[in-house]
Chain A
Amino acid sequence: TVGAVAVDVQGNLACATSTGGMLNKMEGRVGDTACIGAGGYADNKIGAVSPTGHGESILKVTLARLILFHMEQGKSPKEASDLALTYMQERVSGLAGAVVVDPKGTWAARFNSRQMAWAAAQQEQLHYGLYKGE
């Protein structure tokens, strides 16, 4: 799965997610990626999210919207992502990650899986990582 979130100079937010699915999936299986609210969500008033991970688990907790729910309650993108990912792991044992931005351009790339390749570009600087803490 791959995805992106962005804020443009006018303060508009957007998200996109795309996937080839899951290895050896049943024919016709659809995971979270095509489902608005689970595999992605964007609202100028709150933020934008593109998640990745175990699709069935992401669907069960509507992960993208859950992260934005926590942001609506005043959490930062990082805090909101960690809360939602922890909830998902505890409730349905799923591993996942997400990239998140808020309307001010504050961003986060968080995951509870072993790895997640990510990169962020802002103010002419490129940030990136693969393992936790990078």
Chain B
Amino acid sequence: MLPVVVVHGGAGFVPKERDELSIAGVQEAARRGYAVLKSGGSSMDAVVEAVTSLENNPAFNAGRGSVLNLKGEIEMDALVMDGSTLACGAVSAVKRVANPVCLARLVMDKTSHVCLTAEGACQFAKAMEIPEVTEESLITDYARKRWQDNLCSDSNPVLCQMGKMG
């Protein structure tokens, strides 16, 4: 079996000045994931390693660099799935966690549930001794500028979201 890892950094518009950052980021993530596979690691280890790398890279909208919601806050979602057992884990609307993908893996490994959300997910992170980070540490200047530039004057939350990409 020839091991392989494939990563993405999101579908949508990448401004020209961020092209190189995005390409370099996905290359680094693929290299990291592939290194895990080459050393005999599992596909689950590889995808978590690759996604953690992307979450830590402020060029991407996950982990550090996440976009801001209407209130100017960060809420993150993540999932993992193991194709050998169909085991899976997910978190949604989680805050103050640097790597939601690692928390999703813990949901899969340490609970009998599939998804934990919001405050419950944050409490689970604490129970798992995942270090809490400040929200400020996850917010980049670029994310804050985009948020300020895109605040809708009519503040209708449905209209605000029309045409936007996840």
Contact = CB atoms under 8 A, between A and B. Distances in A.
Whether chain B is bound by chain A comes out as yes
Contact of B92 (A30, A111, A122, A128): A30
A5 to B, nearest CB: 5
Interface string B22-34: 1101110111011
A82 interface: no
B133 interface: no
Interface residues of A, number: 77
A53 B55 contact: no
A47 B4 CA distance: 12
A97 B8 contact: yes
Nearest to A20: B66
A92 interface: no
Contact of A99 (B8, B23, B143): B8
B31 A113 contact: no
B7 A2 contact: yes
A6 B81 CA distance: 11
A54 B27 contact: no
Nearest to A44: B83
A23 B68 contact: yes
**Interface-central residue, A7, A43, A53, A101, by most chain B CB under 10 Å:** A7
Interface of A: 1-36, 39-44, 47-48, 50, 52-56, 58, 95-101, 105, 107-109, 111, 113-123, 126, 128, 130
